[in-house]
Chains A and B, each alone.
Chain A
Amino acid sequence: MKILLMGNPNVGKSVVFSRLTGVHVIASNYPGTTVEFTKGFMHMPEELGFKGETAEVVDVPGVYTLEPASRAEEVACEMLKEGDVVINVINATNLERSLNLTLQLLKKKVPLVVALNLWDEAEHTGIKINVERLQQILGVPCVPTCAITGEGFKELVSEIKEAKPGGYEYEEEERWHEVGNIIAQVEKVTHRHHSLRERLSDASIFPGTGIPIALIVLFVTFQVIRFIGEGLIGYVFEPLFENLWAPLMLKVSNLLGGDGLIHNILIGRLVEGGIDFGESFGLLTTGLFVPFGAVLPYVFAFYLILSFLEDSGYLPRLAILADNIMHRVGLHGMAIIPMMLGLGCNVPGALSTRIMETKRERFIAATLMAIAVPCMAQIAMIVGLIGKHGASGLGIVFGTLFVVWIILGVILNRIMKGESMEIFLEIPPYRLSYLRGLVKKVWMRIIWFAKEAVPWVLAGVFIANILYTFGIVDFVGRYTAPLISGVFGLPKEAVGALILGFFRKDVAVGMLAPLDMSLSQLAVASVVLTMYFPCVATFAVLVKELGVVAMLKSAVIMIISTLIVGGILNLVLGIL
Chain B
Amino acid sequence: MENEKVSLSDMKAGQTGVIVELHGRQGMISKLSTLGIRVGEKIKKISQQAMRGPVVVEVGRSQVAIGFGMAGRVLVEAAKEAGKR
Contacts and interface: CB of A to CB of B under 8 A. Distances in A.
Given A65-B30, A205-B56, A424 B50 contact: no
A183 to B, nearest CB: 10
Interface string B42-73: 00001111111110100011111111111000
B27 interface: yes
Interface stretch (A47-55, A319-327, A374-382, A527-535): A319-327
B31 A321 contact: no
Contacts of A206: 13, 47
B66 A427 contact: no
A69 B56 contact: no
Contacts of A123: none
A67 B50 CA distance: 34
A426 interface: yes
Interface string B8-44: 0000010000000000000100111111101000000
Contacts of B54: 320, 323, 333, 422-423
A96 B37 CA distance: 12
Nearest to B64: A426
Nearest to A127: B61
Contacts of B52: 324
B34 A323 contact: no
Contacts of A205: 46-47, 56, 65
B34 to A, nearest CB: 4
Given A423-B65, A424-B65, A424-B66, A323 B35 contact: no
A204 B36 CA distance: 22
A69 B62 contact: no
B61 A94 contact: yes
Interface in A203-259: 205-207, 210
Nearest to A204: B47
Contact of A324 (B31, B51, B69, B70): B51
Contact of B49 (A93, A321, A425, A426): A321
A316 interface: yes
Contacts of B60: 94, 96-97
A41 interface: no
A332 interface: yes
A100 B30 CA distance: 12
Nearest to B61: A94
Q: Of B27, B56, B69, which is in contact with the most chain A CB atoms at under 10 Å from its CB?
A: B56
A93 B61 CA distance: 8
Contacts of B53: 207, 320, 323-324
A502 interface: no
A64 interface: yes
Contacts of A422: 54, 66-70
Chain B interface main SS type:
mixed
Interface residues of B, number: 31
Nearest to B37: A424
A21 interface: no
A27 B65 CA distance: 22
Given A65-B34, A69-B31, A323 B50 contact: no
A467 to B, nearest CB: 50
A126 B53 CA distance: 33
Contacts of B69: 422
Nearest to A206: B47
Given A94-B62, A422-B66, A424-B66, A324 B50 contact: yes
A443 interface: no
Contacts of B61: 93-94, 96
B35 A426 contact: yes
A202 interface: yes
Nearest to B33: A176
Contacts of A201: 63
A67 B64 contact: no
Interface in A420-441: 421-427
Given A176-B38, A202-B47, A205-B47, A320 B65 contact: yes
Interface in A308-360: 316, 319-321, 323-324, 332-333
Q: Of A67, A69, A316, A422, which is in contact with the most chain B CB atoms at under 10 Å from its CB?
A: A422
A39 to B, nearest CB: 27
A67 B30 contact: yes
Contacts of B70: 422, 424
A101 to B, nearest CB: 8
Contact of A427 (B27, B48, B56): B56
B47 A427 contact: no
A69 B49 contact: no
Nearest to A176: B38
Given A205-B47, A424-B32, A424-B35, 6 more contacts: A93-B61, A423-B66, A426-B62, A426-B65, A427-B56, A427-B64
Chain A to chain B: the 5 pairs with minimum beta-carbon distance, closest first: A422-B67, A64-B34, A427-B63, A324-B53, A323-B54
5 contacts: A202-B46, A319-B65, A320-B65, A426-B65, A427-B62
Interface of B: 13, 27, 30-36, 38, 46-54, 56, 60-70
